[in-house]
Structure 1
Amino acid sequence: MVFIHDTEMSLRAAAALVNTLPATDGDGIDRLVSQADFDTYFDEYAYTGTFHRDDAELDMVRGNRQRLRALWDVDREEAVPLVNAMLRDGHALPQLVIHDGFDWHIHATESDAPLSTRMLVEAAMAFVDIIRSDQWDRVRICDADDCESVYIDFSKNGSKRYCDTGNCGNRMNVIAYRRRKAEESV
């Protein structure tokens, strides 16, 4: 399934934000505690509009993580009220815009709305596309035994099983290989 560019980018950014939570990759480290962490996130996931780059803004963005994480813990129907609440809380008013070399896409908040609100609403709008296209089965949690990182499966055949935050796929393949070898030697 191929989503349009802005939807895919918003989904990737939402998953990456959730994956900054301490419980995702098993090491218990919060990956969004400082302005440097914030800058690292924004180096990868760009947002337009007003930025304050202060601790209050960082705290508000950190507050989005659990709300977004909840989307990975529910099914499609249960996601609808969560997404609707995000849109309602952000006073979403979708409008087509074109800027900075991007073709027509949707912004659902004003550019001077708080960053955390813009981020939450953009993620909610992207999840609307997943719900509407009946692709909720692509909203996934890593299959690795020791990882709780989240991702959206953008593969054509929908077969992705592991996140991209660690080395989960390779690690689990090595474990399976060693298990098979051990069973063969018995």
Structure 2
Amino acid sequence: MRIHKRKKNTRYRGSQTHRRGHRKRTKGSGNRGGKGMSGSENQRKSWIINQFGMEYFGRDKALRRGIVAPKLKVINLDDLIKRFDSLIKQGIAKQTQKGFEFNLHGYKLLAGTGANAKISVKASAASKSAIAQIKAAGGSIVLEAEEKDKSENKEEKLEKKEDKSDKKEKIEEKKAIKK
């Protein structure tokens, strides 16, 4: 007489599911979305970006998204005057005969509580209220985007003038040839 009889469900070889519940779900790698790195563009995207960065997804531009514009540091108008000494040491500020000059490349200028001093500022960006307060105090502000537009416009005008002069010369040459 046997006391410890082996249960039937422990004998997996002969059973259809091998104790895994459903026959179709365990057959191959299809249920898991493939073996190894297969399907990496679909299933394992976040893991791949963590491990290899955005360069993993090769030649298609659409697969290399996620490049974000650099964030600008923020500074208030009143902080410019309060922290003037430390900004001079950093090379951001200068004191001239006309007033204070600030070169805030990589900064966005916010109004804060405002400033009464006459200042001239070069900044990457600025809020409307900050621009209004600077102009009200008699200062000036130049944004980097505006600077680029102005320089591009000058170059375009020069090119157009050169094109017009080239056209005039060609027309005159044709007239001279006809005579």
- TM-score w.r.t. the length of structure 2 is 0.24
Structure in which a larger fraction of residues adopt strand:
2
Give the structure, 1 or 2, with the largest relative contact order (CA under 8 Å, sep 6 or more). 1
Structure in which a larger fraction of residues adopt helix:
1
Structure with higher Rg: it is 2
- TM-score w.r.t. the length of structure 1 is 0.23
